[in-house]
């Protein structure tokens, strides 16, 4: 069992928790993830490590309430426990030899991008960060990005905060003006990562994307997290849990990944509604 040390609501649908998990805290690196179960009969869900405190033995996770499991997790409070917290899993983000990087995060993907930006800053790289949200109400982690970025662009789709537009707007402006990066790292919705990759392609800047497909065991055995790469005209199957989650954006078949990602959307919605109704009935008793 793993104790919830702290809980903080970041926006109406996104919550941050710090979990007591000393072994994971000592080993986890930016870009890696954990798999947790809220209860003994619960499903396994992957969540990226959003930060660690090895001395305290705590691991920070940030999640969006989407399905039944995240709804159940969100009802847990400080001092309570979750059943399992396994990790770190996946390959850490590559940081070697990169002196100038652009980090592009969208929505809750900013929770994954933040520790990556912090690590590059710690290593002495020049960090430009672009973070995007649908509206001001959904903004998270602005102060944290400001602290680890040499330049920060905050974008909102409706113009309610920062600049009006999506994350590709300042990226394209910089590239058109002759700005060059050793690497662009983008983390967020698949459609956003696809268009960040397309924006960078004419300029030949390497793009790394963080994939978060359906995942069950985190060891490559179930095959649920498979993604298709197109390399030299050949299609190659990889598994996000053991080969990723980071991949070359130019090789990803985004259309296939988006199609697979929508497969269980209705089930996810119904499961969350069922969980919400359960909590509502309990509150009424």
The label of the residue with tokens 């999640």 reads 63
CATH number of the 2-89 domain = 2.40.30.10
Beta pairing partners, 187: 105
230: left (phi over 0), alpha (psi -120 to 50) or beta: beta
pLDDT band at 86; cut points 50, 70, 90: very high
The pLDDT assigned to 214 comes to: 80
Distance CA(145)–CA(131), nearest Å, equals 9
The pLDDT assigned to 274 comes to: 64
Pairwise pLDDT comparison (217 vs 135), residue with the higher score: 135
State if pTM tops 0.85. yes
CATH class, 93-210 region: alpha beta
**How far, in whole angstroms, is CA 47 from its chain's centroid?**
8
The mean per-residue pLDDT over the stretch 230-246 comes to 89
Q: Report the percent of the chain where pLDDT is more than 90.
A: 69
DSSP state letters, 109-144: GHHHHHHHHHHHHHTT-EEEEEEEESSGGG---HHH
Q: Where are the domains of the chain?
A: 2-89, 93-210
Tens digit of each residue's pLDDT (9 = 90 or more) over 46-58: 999 999 999 999 9
Q: Examine residue 88 and say whether the peptide bond preceding it is cis (omega within 30 degrees of 0).
A: yes
Is residue 220 pLDDT above 90, yes or no?
A: no
Tens digit of each residue's pLDDT (9 = 90 or more) over 155-195: 999 999 999 999 999 999 999 999 999 999 999 999 999 99
Is residue 20 pLDDT above 60, yes or no?
A: yes
The mean per-residue pLDDT over the stretch 228-255 comes to 90
Residue 71 per-residue DSSP state: H
Is residue 223 pLDDT above 90, yes or no?
A: no
If we measure between CA atoms, which residue out of 196, 141, 101 comes closest to residue 14? 141
Is residue 282 pLDDT above 60, yes or no?
A: no
Q: Report the percent of the chain where pLDDT is more than 70.
A: 92
Tens digit of each residue's pLDDT (9 = 90 or more) over 91-130: 999 998 999 999 999 999 999 899 999 999 999 999 999 9
* Domains 2-89 and 93-210 belong to one CATH topology: no
């Amino acid at each position: 069992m793993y104790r919830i040390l702290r809980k903080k609501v970041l926006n109406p649908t996104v919550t941050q928790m710090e979990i007591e998990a000393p072994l994971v805290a000592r080993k986890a690196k930016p870009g890696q993830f954990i798999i947790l179960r809220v209860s003994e009969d619960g499903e396994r869900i992957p969540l990226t490590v959003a930060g660690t405190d090895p001395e305290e033995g705590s691991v920070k996770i940030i999640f969006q309430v989407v399905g039944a499991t995240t709804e159940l997790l969100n009802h847990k409070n400080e001092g309570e426990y979750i059943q399992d917290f396994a990790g770190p899993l996946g390959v850490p983000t590559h940081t070697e030899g990169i002196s100038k990087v652009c980090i592009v995060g969208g929505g809750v993907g900013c929770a994954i991008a933040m520790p990556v930006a912090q690590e590059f800053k710690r290593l002495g790289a020049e960090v430009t960060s672009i973070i995007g949200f649908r509206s001001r109400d959904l903004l998270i982690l602005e102060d944290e990005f400001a602290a680890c970025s040499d330049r920060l662009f905050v974008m909102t789709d409706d113009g309610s905060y920062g600049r009006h537009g999506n994350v590709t707007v300042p990226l394209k402006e910089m590239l058109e003006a002759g700005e060059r990066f050793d690497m662009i790292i983008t983390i967020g919705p698949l459609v956003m990562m696809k268009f960040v990759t397309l924006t960078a392609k004419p300029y030949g800047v390497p793009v790394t994307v963080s994939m978060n497909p359906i995942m069950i065991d985190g060891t490559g055995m179930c095959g649920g997290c498979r993604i298709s790469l197109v390399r030299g005209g050949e299609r190659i199957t990889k598994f996000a849990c053991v080969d990723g989650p980071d991949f070359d954006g130019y090789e990803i078949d985004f259309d296939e990944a988006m199609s697979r990602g929508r497969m269980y959307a209705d089930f996810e919605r119904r499961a969350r509604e069922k969980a919400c109704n359960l909590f509502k009935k309990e509150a009424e008793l």
